[in-house]
């Protein structure tokens, strides 16, 4: 009886979505401002899509959230019920959402220059719109860009990617099917210094394979950094051009609407 499982790598060393082993999925970045946020970024890694909004630094609403010598980073994650095929409704106390929020917060606490914003709070809201693997890296990359867009001081970017091993073949930027079938890790790197800020591993991986895929993921993070910097530079150039021509940007329109209200 033939197996119903889709093969991870075919005879031509191509993956189920047509990519090569080390090939990353297409990345799309949209800086359109959402609601009252100071910055918003929609990050798409292939079919995985997250919307990250940043508010602050601003005065903490609760005294318990106030830290006298640095900013408090608050992260909230919401996963849309329609983001996967199972249409599962998740509550605020959902383990997966709390885990993602904790990983994002612990990754950025040493990266954001929180000492510059004492007694303040930086809110990061992440809405997961669609999932097809690489959810944590998408959240981290979107957050890095949203913080930079909001003008929050950071020591460096954070660039993250997932990687795994099928048999003896390393793979980068895994989709859902690959994550379900192969041992994998997620790695977040600060490209300017080469420091690694996060490594997660949900499945067992042989030490020899771990080192190989870890190094590949760090190199891929540097490639992502170029893409993210280019997107940020393009946005900055468009803002400068809009100001020079007197054209109203999405941001200035949003501010004017708030003033009228």
Contact 23, 222 (CB under 8 A): no
Burial letters for 157-183: b for 16+ Cβ neighbours within 10 Å, e otherwise?
bbbbbbbbbbeeebbbbbbbbbbebbb
d(CA 55, CA 74): 10
Domain ranges of the chain: 29-260
Contact 41, 28 (CB under 8 A): no
Burial letters for 202-215: b for 16+ Cβ neighbours within 10 Å, e otherwise?
eeebeeebbeebbe
pLDDT of residue 150: 95
Tell the residue number behind the tokens 């919307």, with chain if given: 51
Domain 29-260 coded CATH 3.30.230.70: yes
Question: Residues with Cβ < 8 Å from 234, sequence gap 6 or more?
Answer: none
pLDDT of residue 98: 94
Digit-by-digit pLDDT tens for the chain (261 residues) are 344 356 888 888 899 889 999 999 999 999 988 888 999 999 999 999 999 999 989 998 888 888 999 999 999 999 988 876 665 555 566 788 999 999 999 999 999 999 999 999 999 999 999 999 999 999 999 999 999 999 999 999 999 999 999 888 899 999 999 999 899 999 999 999 889 999 998 778 888 889 999 999 999 999 999 999 999 999 989 888 888 776 555 555 554 444 433
pLDDT of residue 91: 58
d(CA 218, CA 225): 11
Q: Which residues are bridge partners to 59 per DSSP?
A: 120
């Amino acid at each position: 009886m033939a197996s119903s499982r889709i093969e991870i790598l075919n005879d031509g060393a191509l993956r189920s979505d047509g990519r090569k082993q080390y090939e990353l999925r297409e990345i799309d970045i949209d800086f359109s401002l959402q609601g009252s946020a100071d910055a918003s970024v929609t990050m798409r890694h292939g079919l995985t899509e997250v919307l990250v909004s940043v508010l602050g630094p601003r005065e903490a609403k609760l005294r318990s959230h106030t830290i006298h010598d640095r900013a408090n980073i608050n992260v909230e994650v919401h996963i849309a019920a329609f983001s996967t095929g199972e249409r599962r409704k998740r509550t605020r106390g959902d383990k997966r959402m709390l885990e993602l929020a904790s990983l994002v917060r612990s990754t950025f606490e040493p990266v954001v220059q929180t000492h510059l914003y004492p007694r303040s709070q930086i809110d990061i809201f992440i809405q997961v719109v669609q999932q097809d693997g690489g959810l944590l890296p998408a959240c981290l990359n979107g957050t890095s860009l949203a913080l930079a867009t909001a003008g929050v001081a950071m020591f460096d970017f954070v660039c993250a990617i997932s990687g795994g091993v099928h048999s003896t073949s390393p793979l980068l930027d895994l989709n859902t099917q690959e994550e379900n079938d192969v041992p994998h890790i997620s790695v977040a790197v600060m490209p300017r210094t080469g420091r690694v800020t996060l490594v997660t591993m949900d499945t067992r991986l042989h030490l020899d394979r771990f080192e190989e895929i870890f190094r590949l993921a760090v190199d891929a993070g540097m490639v992502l950094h170029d893409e993210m910097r280019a997107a940020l530079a393009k946005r900055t150039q468009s803002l400068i051009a809009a100001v020079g021509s007197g054209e109203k940007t999405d941001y200035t329109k949003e501010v004017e609407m708030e003033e009228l209200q």
